[in-house]
Structure 1
Amino acid sequence: MRIVFRSLESRIVTLFLVLIVAVQVIGLLVIQRGIDNNARQAIAGELHNGAKVFGRLLEQNAQNLRFGARLLARDTAFLAAIGNNEEGDRATIESALANSGRRIKATMTMLVNSERQISVSTNAAQALLLAKIVDGMLDPAEAADGANGIAIVERRPYQVVVMPVKAPITIGWIVMTFPIDRQLATEMREVTSLHATIATRDQAGHWLPAGSTFVGPSAQAVVAQLQALPKPASGDAATFDLEVEESRYSARLLRIGEDNGQVAGVVLARSIDEATAEYRKLERWLILLTLGGIVISTIVIVITAKRIAQPISELAATARRLEQGDYKGDIDTSRSDEIGALAGAFDSMRESIAKREQEIRRLAYWDTLTNLPNRAQFLLLLNDALLNAEGREEAVFVLMMDLDRFKHVNDVMGHSFGDALLRQVAGRLQLLLVNRLQSSAQVARLGGDEFAVLLPASDLEAAQRMAGEILQTLEAPLSLDDQTVDIGAGLGIAGYPTHGDDGEQLLSMAEVAMYAAKTRNDGAVVYDAAMDKSSDKSLSLLTELRNAIERNEFRLFVQPKIMLDTGQVVGMESLVRWVHPERGNVFPDEFIPFAEQTGFIRLLTRWVMEKSAELCQQLAAQGHHLKVSVNLSTRDLLDQDLPVKFADLLARYRLSPGSFCLEITESAIMDDPVRAQTTLERLSNMGVDLSIDDFGTGYSSLAYLKRLPVNELKIDKSFVLNMENDEGDTKIVRSTIDLGHNMGLRVVAEGIESEAVWRLLAELGCDQGQGYFMSRPIPGDQLVAWLEKWRAPIAVAAQPAVTAGHPTE
């Protein structure tokens, strides 16, 4: 059986073999791990139960000792002998203690008299060593009618039982000890099949065996491995592995008692090899079954791979013929399985591929809405015209136009209406070219509401004449669905060889001219190289604006806001100035509109707010509590995260929301009234003052003013500057002040440049004002010095409060 390397057949065989082997190996590893885990869990259960059993054994021994001691403590003769306290009775007591101790296999018995002194013992040396622990057990024994504990004597653990002797009051205590040694470990082995090793640890941390079911060196090996374990805490039962006689054991160290810094413990051990013996047999059977399954699977996979790969190879050869354009070859579709279905699909593909190629070509080069050439097709036509013009030394011109107000029509009337409008525009342009006998001219839709006209073998005068006729044609109202729509266009002109010799380049130049025409509202504009320079300048300005913040080139200026009736300074408006390292001072009129167009205004507003908050905090620390006004742009109002960012700013500088007044223009609100009002309501709910800036210059003032949560109106300076000499301006200002006050708003006048205007505004009831008469914009760090020098006009100064203080509403 021969399998070609890197063929589909070999890949199928390799893939499935790798998968099967991987699955089997992973399965074996999982089973092996499961066997080990199960064995470990079973051993852990045995050790846990063994610890309980060992505790029961100790408790049983303690109960036996307590029972024997209780019998002796209640013996009448024994009580009488203690009560007489004569020399002959002392021998009787000693004999009774010895006999009782032998009966219950106690290693030592003794009597503690009522004065808590050892009076009689069967082992004086051991009694002295036990004196301290026994003394601590006397009171618990008297209270509970007996007590037991663990003592370590000469590094040997003992169970100690103390039983009070009462007649009827306590006249002494009987103390008995029982060794915890190999005998108890052997009993543990017989009951649980666990190896048990009893050991003690001295204060230096050295372990010593006291009895073990392991023999000789094995017991020593267990104790030696205990040295590496951490000291067991009270009540802990540490589990660890042991190596004994080349066998693995899982062991559990159980602490059973402590005496004067020495610890007694028992190590319970279970052989891991014995616990997993049956599992290992099962594992060997699984390995044999796995190997057999891999061999059988290999044979089946090879046969299956050949049945799959051979017909697919034949279909691959057919696909190569289709790739070369040969659609006449026969395809065997007789099979009824998936391969047959695939062959049938190939056959259907061969029949429809030519139609699809034709349709794809149409979609790639023609606009489906207007059936005009699209941008790609127009570019091909333009490049062909340029080649012909180069050989004949002729000129070629491109007209590009963008419809005016189309987005508004689309938004108001719907996209279906907009599509119909585009079709009518395309029809008008085609009809115009036909009527002007421009057979070689070509109109195309480049995308959206942009159209282009190709004028080969033309000149600039003819191109401008055609542009005028196109604009005149588009100015005629369009009628759709009983709706009449007025629509115009901005049109740009670029030509070969005057402006460029490449199709893409000419389109780009015509587009630049078109946008210049829309900006100037000038109908048709011929491309000029200066237009592109302004674009480069804009890109350069954007880069410089971004660098200006990083290089700290912006400066914060402020203009004071003053109460007109008292001359009190109550606030300041924050302004930004740009100190360019090369251009010098750049005025706001030069970069603010551009920042708004590009979206950079958000970063600039954030910078102004940050610096204003910093200045406000510094002024408050010096006793000047001024409300700072900051202008918000359209893009700022559309930022739904603005309230969150502003709250964070106030928290960082520990300022109240009332320290700020955010100024907005009517035009900014009108761009997206719903989103703008949502942002303003959230800011107002925080406690921030809101002000309508340049009031009176917008076109929807009253309609939105009644719904906006504003606190202040700022009269535009165009009405204030000349109100001293213009009665009309004075009437507008008076009406605005009355309107603001009737709506409960604070009214501020901008552009006060003379004392006469100040006094006139004060007479009209205007609340606050700002302007060159009081102060030009000054750097923020110079405001404190200005406040100290500020003096209101004499007539106003005669009234109270002429210095800076808390803002008044």
Structure 2
Amino acid sequence: MTRNLRFRSIESRIVTLFLVLVVALQLIGLLVIQRGIDNNARLAIGAELNNGTKVFHRLLEQNAQSLRFGARLLARDTAFVAAIGNNDEGDRATIESALENSGRRIQASLSMLISDQRKITATTNRAQSAALEKMALSMLDAAEATDGAIGIAIVEHRPFQIVAMPVKAPITIGWIVMTFPIDRQLASDMREISALHTTVLTRDQQGRWLQAGSTFAAPSAQELLEELQALGPTASALPFDVTVESDQYSARLMPIGVDDGQTASVLLARSIDEATAEYRRLERWLVGLALAGIAISVLVIVFTAKRIAQPIGELVTTAKRLEGGDYNTPIDSTREDEIGQLANAFDAMREGISKREQEIRRLAYWDTLTNLPNRAQFVLLLNDALLEARRRGEALFVLIMDLDRFKHVNDVMGHSFGDALLRQVAGRLQLLLANRRQSSAQVARLGGDEFAVLLPAASTAAALAMAAEILQALETPLSLEEQTVDLGAGLGIAGYPDHAEVGETLLSMAEVAMYAAKQRNDGAVIYDAAMDKSSAQSLSLLTELRNAVERNELRLHVQPKISLATGMVVGMESLVRWMHPERGNVFPDEFIPFAEQTGFIRVLTRWVMEKSAELCGELAAQGHHLKVSVNLSTRDLMDQDLPVMFADLLARHKLTPGSFCLEITESAIMDDPVRAQHTLERLSAMGLDLSIDDFGTGYSSLAYLKRLPVNELKIDKSFVLNMEKDEGDTKIVRSTIDLGHNMGLRVVAEGIESEAVWRLLAELGCDQGQGYFMSRPIPGDQMIAWLEKWQAPANLVAAAAGNEVAIDS
């Protein structure tokens, strides 16, 4: 019987395999036939387009013959020839009338007479005659030699057939020229004859396609032009595909004439859907037959599958129980075939999943180190306790504590010692709750060295008492591995309903109170809304700062940099100002440090860079080539994409790298010297000048600074402001100038507020300076006006020149 069951199982697989093969053969045959249908349809469309070109040429030839016939009749009309010979005003009217009547009969758009002096003497359309004059004159010799000449002319991007016929009496006394428009009428005639969409096109000397008439509707014709423009040189006399309003067409481009660099062409298009309609009906029949064959195959498959469906259905029901979390019901199976083996495998899987889910649940909601509830489990317990407190109208408190000096213990004694210490703290807290017989109280480890206690049905006094006991328990020294450790903790308290009604919010408020307790070193602290004020202000400031960039509230100010020797303006430093719609002018000291803390300083730096580049370009256009200095923060130096951003900025504004000088503080460099040096080297390699800002106030090593690719040192204004009165400051400035020059650097002093300081700095050899004596920071859009007014004090420039002469001698 076992062999019989196995045979039937294998037999069902064989039957299914053959059915799959049948279906595959049906689909492959269908695909081959479909491919053949498409190929045949394409060949038929190609033949139609080929015949269409012949038909269109025939239409053009018929029109040409009509023009020649009309022109010949008129040229041989005795009265018309006599009127040309008389050449008086009365005969001119006769000539023009004859031209108009003859042109109307053959539907010519223009009829004109050219005299034997090759001048236009009569015309039915003067504007068109003037445009066609050059083309017409070029045809006269050929017309006289062959009794008429035909050509293609393009006037205002519209093609015309043009015929020239000599008027002889018996010698040539003039020429009749007639034109026939190649426009939508001719395209419509072609459409009626051949069922092909026809579009008359011209292409100007710049390669742009223009439409002169089409059987497509206006939007479709415009879309066709765009498609043709996109194809470019690939659009040729060979068939190609175009899409017009989601319909696919096979098209062929047929040149019909060239005039003064312009090309006239006709585009013939055949709808692929229309051409393949009959084929598609045949294809649907084939699909129907294939589906019928597949349906019969499916019936056989269903019949075969029923023999094994029932036991598999039982296993599906078992799988749904497992999906619902029922891992306790065992799976019984007495079968010994493949289905029986599958049932046994399901039962083994059920037992394995049950064990793993228990372990995952323990890891998800319990702290593996202390075996206490973790933060996720504590939040669940807190939410349940809040529901119960609301129902009973009771208060509830959360206590959160953070151990003091635990990080120091971890660093000194190692993580294994720290873990053992946390287990002891957890044990003390559990013991404390057990001794107080707080059956409903819960202790949890939130993470790191943070623990929490949940006190349901408690008062503020009870919460404070519990906090005092916890702090006392933690202050008792802990003995571990022959080491005695003093810890202590900061503890925060928040309660329902006084502070919050949501679990996460209550937990957050208790954490705020805990941080306040650690700052004050005050043991336990109950939450107060004032504690959150600074956080809310910081969040509000960040939001407003983001909006300031989007709403264009920031303003670029610049402070000129002056050569102390010549008094010439050589550069400017870019500064940012914030014009708040409510607070008014917000000074940089109020938002720049915050922007650096939050990382928003990168956005501000990019804004300043962009505006500085725009201003630098405007100044250069006015003949003021100034080097603009921009400050970089620590976060900017850590950004490895900064050189790429600068390269893009310079390219967009068409500026040279020498237009910028990037100022970096010493402290910014020393935060991560290796990474900072890498960024600075990349910027320097691009050709950007680099400057050490506020030199002398940082903590950098001179040996390290020697390796930096800098071009400039800026002396901090704290040494410059009082140097005329403080000899110590003067010595520091002199030493800094000498140091900078010895390192081959340019030295700039900031904070120049008097003539005496300018003079003293010039005597010490300082290269450049900036300060209120020259100019306060001014709006960037006022810089050009300031430059036109600036004039350095003559006595200072003369004194500086004298110092240079003295130094040279």
TM-score higher than 0.5: yes
Q: 1:454 to 1:286 in 2, by over 3 A?
A: closer
User: Could you say which residue in structure 1 is the equivalent of 2:305?
Assistant: 305
| Aligned twin of 2:426 | 430
* Equivalent residue number for residue 451 of structure 2: 452
Counterpart of 1:33 in structure 2 is 35
Bigger mean CA offset, 385-394 vs 525-534: 385-394
Aligned AA (1:426): L
Mapping of residues 460-539 of structure 1, within 5 Å:
460=464, 463=467, 466=470, 492-496=492-496, 498-513=498-513, 527-539=527-539
The answer to whether the aligner puts 1:629 opposite 2:645 as a matched pair is: no
CA distances 1:764-798 after superposition (whole Å, capped 9, x unpaired): 43322222233221222333343444454565221
Corresponding residue of 1:602: 602
Q: 1:401 to 1:44 in 2, by over 3 A?
A: same
Alignment of 1:640 with 2:640, yes or no, is yes
Match of 1:687 in 2: 687
Q: Is the 8 A contact 2:634 2:669 kept in 1?
A: yes
8 Å contact from structure 2 (residues 753, 772) kept in 1 = yes
Relative to structure 1, is the Cα distance of residues 385 and 340 closer, same or farther in structure 2, using a 3 angstrom cutoff? Answer: same
Match among 20, 23, 26 for residue 24 of structure 1: 26
The structure number with the bigger radius of gyration is 1
Output aligned runs, 1:24-63, within 5 Å.
Answer: 24=26, 27-31=29-33, 33-34=35-36, 37=39
Question: Kindly tell me: are residues 307 and 227 of structure 1, through their superposed partners in 2, closer, same or farther at Cα, counting changes over 3 Å?
Answer: closer
SS of aligned partner of 1:327:
coil
The letter for the 2-side match of 1:332 is S
What percentage of aligned pairs have identical amino acids?
A: 71
Aligned partner of 1:554: which letter?
A: L
Deviation at 1:399, TM superposition (A): 2.0
CA contact (8 A) 1:660 1:689 kept: yes
Offset at residue 712 of structure 1 (A): 1.3
Shift of 1:660: 1.0
Matched residues in 2 for 1:706 and 1:488: separation?
Answer: 48
Aligned partner of 1:401 in structure 2 is 402
Q: RMSD between aligned alpha carbons?
A: 5.5
Change beyond 3 A, Cα 1:689–1:328: closer
Question: Counterpart of 1:348 in 2: which secondary structure?
Answer: helix
Residues 573, 629 of structure 2: 8 Å contact kept: yes
Match of 1:142 in 2: none
Cα deviation, residue 689, structure 1: 0.5
CA shift, 1:20, in A, is: 6.6
Could you tell which deviates more after superposition, 315-324 or 398-407? Answer: 398-407
**What SS does the aligned partner of 2:399 have?**
strand
Distance 2:313 2:468 in 1: 63
Amino acid aligned to 2:423: G
**Aligned partners of 1:468 and 1:524 also within 8 Å:** no
Q: Is the 8 A contact 1:398 1:506 kept in 2?
A: no
What is the CA distance between 1:352 and its match in structure 2?
Answer: 3.9
Deviations 1:136-159 (A, max 9, x none): xxxxxxxxxxxxxxxxxxxxxxxx
Deviations 1:495-532 (A, max 9, x none): 45553354322211133345667889999865331233
Change (3 A) 1:320 1:607: closer
Partners in 2 of 1:651 and 1:405 — Cα distance? 53
Distance 1:23 1:783 in 2: 81
Give me the whole-angstrom Cα distance separating, in 1, the residues matched to 2:181 and 2:610: 66
Evaluate the alpha carbon distance shift between residue 597 and residue 421 of structure 1 in structure 2; reply closer, same or farther with a 3 A threshold. farther
Letter in structure 2 aligned against 1:399: I
CA contact (8 A) 1:719 1:732 kept: yes
What is the match of residue 711 of structure 1? 711
Other-structure match for 1:752: 752
Counterpart-to-counterpart distance in 2, 1:713 and 1:408? 44
Aligned residue in 1 for 2:585:
585
Aligned-pair CA distance for 1:690: 0.8
> Equivalents in 2 of 1:616, 1:674: separation in Å?
32
Query: Match of 1:334, as an amino acid?
Result: R
Aligned in 2, Cα 1:801/1:580: closer, same or farther, shift over 3 Å?
farther
SS in 1 for 2:682: helix
Partner amino acid, structure 1, of 2:612 = S
- For 1:468 and 1:751, the matched residues in 2 are separated by 56
Q: What aligned pairs does 1:166-177 form with structure 2 within 5 A after superposition?
A: none
- After TM superposition, give the deviation of residue 670 of structure 1 in Å: 3.9
Alignment partner of 1:453: what SS? strand
Q: 1:653 to 1:204 in 2, by over 3 A?
A: closer
Q: Are the counterparts in 2 of residues 554 and 577 from structure 1 also a CA contact under 8 Å?
A: yes
The alpha-carbon deviation at position 293 of structure 1 amounts to 5.9
Of residues 374-383 and 721-730 in structure 1, the stretch that sits farther from structure 2 once superposed is: 721-730
Structure 1 pair 622/490, CA: closer, same or farther in 2 (3 Å)? Answer: farther
Q: Hey, what's the Cα distance between the residues in 1 that align with 2:522 and 2:691?
A: 37
Cα contact 2:636–2:642 (8 A) shared by 1: yes
Q: Tell me if structure 1 keeps the 8 A contact 2:711–2:745.
A: yes
Q: Which residue of 1 aligns with 2:333?
A: 332
Q: Which runs of 5+ in 1 are unaligned?
A: 1-12, 49-131, 134-202, 206-223, 240-282, 803-809
Structure 2 unaligned runs (5+)?
1-14, 51-144, 147-179, 183-191, 200-235, 240-282, 803-809
1:129-183 deviations in Å (ceiling 9; x for gaps): xxx99xxxxxxxxxxxxxxxxxxxxxxxxxxxxxxxxxxxxxxxxxxxxxxxxxx
- Distance apart, 1:576 and its partner CA: 0.9
CA distance in structure 1 between the aligned counterparts of 2:36 and 2:612, rounded to whole angstroms = 68
Q: 1:486 to 1:555 in 2, by over 3 A?
A: farther
Q: Which amino acid aligns with 2:688?
A: V
Aligned-pair distance for 1:758?
3.5
Residue 396 of structure 1 aligns to a residue whose secondary structure is: strand
Q: Aligned residues, how many?
A: 571
Give me the TM-score of the superposition, normalised by structure 1: 0.58
- Per the TM alignment, residue 335 of structure 1 is displaced from its structure 2 partner at its CA by 3.4
Q: How does 1:240-389 map to 2 (within 5 A)?
A: 294=294, 297-319=297-319, 323=324, 325=326, 327-332=328-333, 334-337=335-338, 339-383=339-383
In 2, the alpha carbon distance for the partners of 1:19 and 1:589 equals 78
CA offset at residue 555 of structure 1? 1.4
Instruction: Give the distance between the partners of 1:502 and 1:230, measured in 2 at CA.
Output: 73
Q: Aligned partners of 1:658 and 1:405: how far apart in 2? A: 52
Post-superposition Cα deviations, 1:696-729, rounded to whole Å, max 9, x if no partner, equal 3333343642332111122233333344455554
Whether the 8 Å contact between 1:568 and 1:801 is mirrored in structure 2 is no
- In the alignment, the residues of structure 1 paired with residue 393 and residue 196 of structure 2 have an alpha-carbon distance, to the nearest angstrom, of 101
* Distance in structure 2 (CA, Å) of the matches to 1:627 and 1:443: 64
Aligned partner of residue 766 in structure 2, secondary structure: coil
Superposed CA deviations along residues 173-220 of structure 1, whole A, max 9, x for unmatched, are: xxxxxxxxxxxxxxxxxxxxxxxxxxxxxx999xxxxxxxxxxxxxxx
CA shift for structure 1 position 760: 3.9
Matches within 5 A, 1:738-777: 738-777=738-777
Counterpart residue number, 1:544:
544
Distance 1:28 1:760 in 2: 96
Read off the aligned partner of 1:688 and give its amino acid letter. Answer: L
1:695–1:714 CA contact under 8 A, matched in 2: yes
Change (3 A) 1:546 1:229: closer
CA gap of 1:38–1:630, structure 2 versus 1, over 3 A, is same
Change (3 A) 1:647 1:325: closer
Inter-partner Cα distance in structure 2 for 1:393 and 1:230: 87
- Matched with 2:267 is none
State the match for 1:141 in structure 2: none
Task: Specify the SS of the correspondent of 1:617.
Answer: helix
Instruction: Give the whole-Å Cα distance in 1 for the aligned partners of 2:610 and 2:660.
Output: 12
**Change beyond 3 A, Cα 1:225–1:565:** closer
SS of match in other structure, 2:596: helix
- Contact between 1:477 and 1:486, CA under 8 Å: does it hold in 2? no
- The Cα of 1:319 is off from its aligned counterpart by 4.1
Secondary structure of the residue aligned to 2:451 is: strand
